[in-house]
């Protein structure tokens, strides 16, 4: 008889693969710097993965590969079964399928928070009014309803990063990539940003991958992938209830 503690004792269906690297290598400076040495990594739909490792280990290069910001010397990067290098328009892929959050925010200083959030929507079919409404709604969702018309210089570091997160969600991406999103923040702002990213992941079912050197930040993820000397050194789930 089936064990009642395990329902009908049937295996849970395997999640579908969103992104994957297969034997990916990448070198710089005419081969003198080997950033990736044959990385195999599978990212499932709805994953929340932290990529960790020391400075120079290759973790940011791996993130850039997954987002189509860089191309491998050998191996393949896949998105929903399609090879990125075979896509006709990688810029369209990045704009429509991937959201990016960077350590240095990359906000345009002359634009307001609302205008910065609208930047990725420039080529979208949405009318101008709807873009503005969506930007305002996203800023409200990240707790910046009172900062809509403020420029970056008028915002704190944590507020700037929340604007950057709102901007990354502008085109409703399938994959959110965050490169050291708390690297320039104090501990209080770090906690706020990570709780925000965790909520976005949970409520939207969005796949989230972040690069970090901070163990307390990595603890928010469901899984940690450690990169060492250009290879996956460790790939394990985080304990339940972390951090």
- What are the structure tokens assigned to 151, written together? 């420029």
> Which pLDDT does position 9 carry in this prediction?
47
Instruction: Evaluate whether residue 87 is within a structural domain.
Output: yes
> Which pLDDT does position 5 carry in this prediction?
40
- State the burial class of residue 168 (Cβ atoms within 10 Å of its Cβ: 0-12, 13-18, 19+): buried
Q: What is the pLDDT of residues 153-195, one digit of tens each?
A: 999 999 999 999 999 999 999 999 999 999 989 999 999 999 9
Beta-carbon neighbour count of residue 197 at 10 Å? 26
> Which pLDDT does position 241 carry in this prediction?
63
- pLDDT tier, 1 (very low <50, low <70, confident <90, very high otherwise): very low
Instruction: Evaluate whether residue 51 is within a structural domain.
Output: yes
Instruction: Evaluate whether residue 1 is within a structural domain.
Output: no
Q: Is 65 helix (H, G, I), strand (E, B) or coil?
A: helix
- What are the structure tokens assigned to 6, written together? 């395990």
Task: Check which CATH number belongs to the domain holding 198 and give it.
Answer: 3.40.50.300
Q: What average pLDDT is seen over the chain?
A: 90
Instruction: Evaluate whether residue 131 is within a structural domain.
Output: no
> Which pLDDT does position 93 carry in this prediction?
92
pLDDT of 7 > 50? The answer is no
Instruction: Evaluate whether residue 139 is within a structural domain.
Output: no
pLDDT of 242 > 80? The answer is no
Q: Is 150 helix (H, G, I), strand (E, B) or coil?
A: coil
Q: What is the pLDDT of residues 93-137, one digit of tens each?
A: 998 899 999 988 999 999 999 999 999 998 788 899 999 999 999
Instruction: Evaluate whether residue 151 is within a structural domain.
Output: no
> Which pLDDT does position 6 carry in this prediction?
43
| Number of separate domains in the chain | 1
Instruction: Evaluate whether residue 6 is within a structural domain.
Output: no
d(CA 189, CA 133): 26
The pairing of beta strand 82-83 with beta strand 98-102: unpaired
Q: Which domain holds residue 187?
A: 15-108+156-237
d(CA 59, CA 230): 8
Instruction: Evaluate whether residue 150 is within a structural domain.
Output: no
Q: What is the pLDDT of residues 205-234, one digit of tens each?
A: 899 999 999 999 999 999 999 999 999 998
> Which pLDDT does position 4 carry in this prediction?
43
Whole-model pTM: value is 0.89
- pLDDT tier, 200 (very low <50, low <70, confident <90, very high otherwise): very high
3-state secondary structure string, 156-204? CHHHHHHHHHHHHCCCCCCEEEEECCCCCCCHHHHHHHHHHHHHHHHHH
pLDDT of 58 > 60? The answer is yes
> Which pLDDT does position 10 carry in this prediction?
46
């Amino acid at each position: 008889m089936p064990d009642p503690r395990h329902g009908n004792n049937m295996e849970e269906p395997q999640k579908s693969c969103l992104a994957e690297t297969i034997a990916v290598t990448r070198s710089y400076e005419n081969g003198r710097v080997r950033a990736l040495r044959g990385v195999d990594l599978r990212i499932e739909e709805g994953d929340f993965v932290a990529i960790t490792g020391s400075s120079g280990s290759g973790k940011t290069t791996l993130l850039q590969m997954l987002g189509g910001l860089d191309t491998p010397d050998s191996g393949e990067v896949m998105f929903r079964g399609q090879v990125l290098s075979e896509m006709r328009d990688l810029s369209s892929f990045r704009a429509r399928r991937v959201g990016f959050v960077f350590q240095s925010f990359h906000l345009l200083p002359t634009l307001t928070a609302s205008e910065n959030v609208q930047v990725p929507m420039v080529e979208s079919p949405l009318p101008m009014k709807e873009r503005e409404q969506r930007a305002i709604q996203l800023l409200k969702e990240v707790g910046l309803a009172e900062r809509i018309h403020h420029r970056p210089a008028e915002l704190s570091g944590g507020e700037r990063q929340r604007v950057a997160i709102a901007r990354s969600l502008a085109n409703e991406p399938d994959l959110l990539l965050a490169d050291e999103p708390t690297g320039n923040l104090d501990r209080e702002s770090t906690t706020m940003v990570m709780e925000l990213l965790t909520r976005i992941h949970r409520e939207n079912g969005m796949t989230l991958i972040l690069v970090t050197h901070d163990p307390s930040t990595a603890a928010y993820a469901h899984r940690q992938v450690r990169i060492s000397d250009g290879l996956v050194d460790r790939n394990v789930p985080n304990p339940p209830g972390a951090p």
